[in-house]
Chain A
Amino acid sequence: MRMLINVPETVVADGLRGLAAAHPDLTVDVENRVIVRRDAPVAGQVALVSGGGSGHEPLHGGFVGPGMLSAACPGEVFTSPVPDQMARAAAAVDSGAGVLFIVKNYTGDVLNFDMAAELAEDEGVQVAKVLVNDDVAVTDSLYTAGRRGTGATLFVEKIAGAAAAEGQPLERVESIGRQVNENSRSFGVALSACTTPAKGSPTFELPDGELELGIGIHGEPGRERRPMMTSGEIADFAVNAIVEDMPPRNPVLALVNGMGATPLLELYGFNAEVQRALRERGVAVARTLVGNYVTSLDMAGASVTLCQADEELLRLWDAPVKTPALRWGM
């Protein structure tokens, strides 16, 4: 293992200290692991709080700022944060207009955010919740924990964040968040496993010349392994999986997301194939984002997320945002 770290135990805290040093617009409580936009609470605005395991950077801390999240709670690597963190974050950002928790559908995140909501409500904070579950690689049935929340988290955080910035009430911000989630689907592939600092070796073995289809963002293996495919074949596979699940009726927002160890040259090339695959299936793309946004440490690979966007969602997507990792219009 060669990593740019001191010791595994301080990886999360060290990262937070560096985030704070680079972004004076954020207040970073390293000890309690809460990242808050410096001007919070913003009077009259619903606050957005999200969080999850560390190792997915820039998710979520990189999305804290005007037009997106009010606060983020990073847990240990790939481990959801604890309720105390989330309740603390909610108390720090609530202006009285209420707090929306944005929760990725993983058992740990769901349970801890539910407990946090109880704690926050005990303190008089009004809490609503949007559950993100966009991953078509998982069968949503009684026999699984349900679809995972992956790339659509970025769409939900950005669009609900824009609605909150406009001063829309909690119920409305929540329903827009839910709408974005319902309109979004993702599919991911891994070309290599990732290595967590604590374990120090890859989380699964992937022989040369093979790839994992339908991976999550925690180094968990996918549902299927196949001989290596070309970028175009992978794009067709991912787009097929998504479109079969949700035939898009509107123009879509497209996110071509790197898992952490795939260079932008490859991601842009992959995006060209994703755009071709969409065009061939008659899907119109309104906006595209390419880059490392919802990562899995040093995993090589990519995910594709599409969101059907009507005029209102497009307008909210285009609204100004100013965070470490996503910034436009201001």
Chain B
Amino acid sequence: MLDADFFHRWMTATAASVEREAERLTALDSAIGDADHGINLQRGFRAVKAALEKEAPDTPGAVLVLSGRQLISTVGGASGPLYGTLLRRTGKALGTAAKVSEAELAEALRAGVDAVMALGGAAPGDKTMVDALVPAVDTLGDGFAAARAAAEEGAVATIPLQARKGRASYLGERSIGHQDPGAASSALLVACLEEAAAAAEG
């Protein structure tokens, strides 16, 4: 079972991962966007970390709702509302339980990803964060390592796609050949589930 501490670690690990990978995310964004994805997420997850340190909610759902709200209030751009909605809706779906199973997390995360697709109007294959998140949710039942691999594969699989959503879509065919930065950062978020679980065992 996963408790509030697990979700706290998930968010903290994501914040650290975004710090480490900010330059790579920004470089990916400079090819087909406007070169600020890493910096924007960094600002958001720093705020998430600070808010969790200050408040430390005691249920999984509350950790994610608070984190999502921080992202909406600090990131801006498309990533703020989309990542914020992902975490808030996932947190809301988890409800007020003190502990949740991995299966319940998988179900809640699907609700979060569905909300992201509804908000951004993106479907799999549009070269967005959805291309990493949907495969991750589909394989979460097989464990965090499987979800991590699926998200990373999904992110890499955006390279040959033509963007249909977001700023990269303005480039038309010129968006082909570049990895989507949102899919790349989503893969980081999913990978940190495994990190959060490993930290508990260690």
Contact = CB atoms under 8 A, between A and B. Distances in A.
B65 to A, nearest CB: 15
A130 B67 CA distance: 31
Interface residues of B, number: 33
B76 A220 contact: no
A61 interface: no
Interface of A: 53, 75-84, 106-108, 111-112, 114-115, 137-139, 142-145, 148, 196, 198-199, 203-204, 216, 218-221, 223
Interface in B6-51: 26, 30, 32-36, 39-40, 43
A330 B32 CA distance: 44
Contacts, number: 109
Interface string B68-85: 000011111111111000
Contacts of A204: 30
Given A107-B165, A144-B170, A145-B170, A219 B35 contact: yes
Interface in B118-173: 119-120, 162, 164-167, 169-172
Contacts of A220: 32-34, 167, 170-171
B81 A115 contact: yes
Given A77-B36, A199-B35, A203-B30, A82 B76 contact: yes
A107 B120 contact: yes
Given A76-B76, A223-B171, A196 B34 contact: yes
Contact of A196 (B35, B72, B174): B35
A199 B30 contact: yes
Given A78-B34, A79-B36, A145-B169, A107 B78 contact: yes
Interface string B164-202: 111101111010000000000000000000000000000
25 contacts: A53-B76, A53-B77, A76-B40, A76-B76, A78-B34, A108-B76, A111-B80, A111-B81, A111-B120, A112-B77, A112-B81, A137-B170, A143-B162, A143-B164, A144-B170, A145-B165, A198-B36, A203-B35, A204-B30, A219-B34, A219-B35, A220-B34, A220-B171, A221-B174, A223-B174
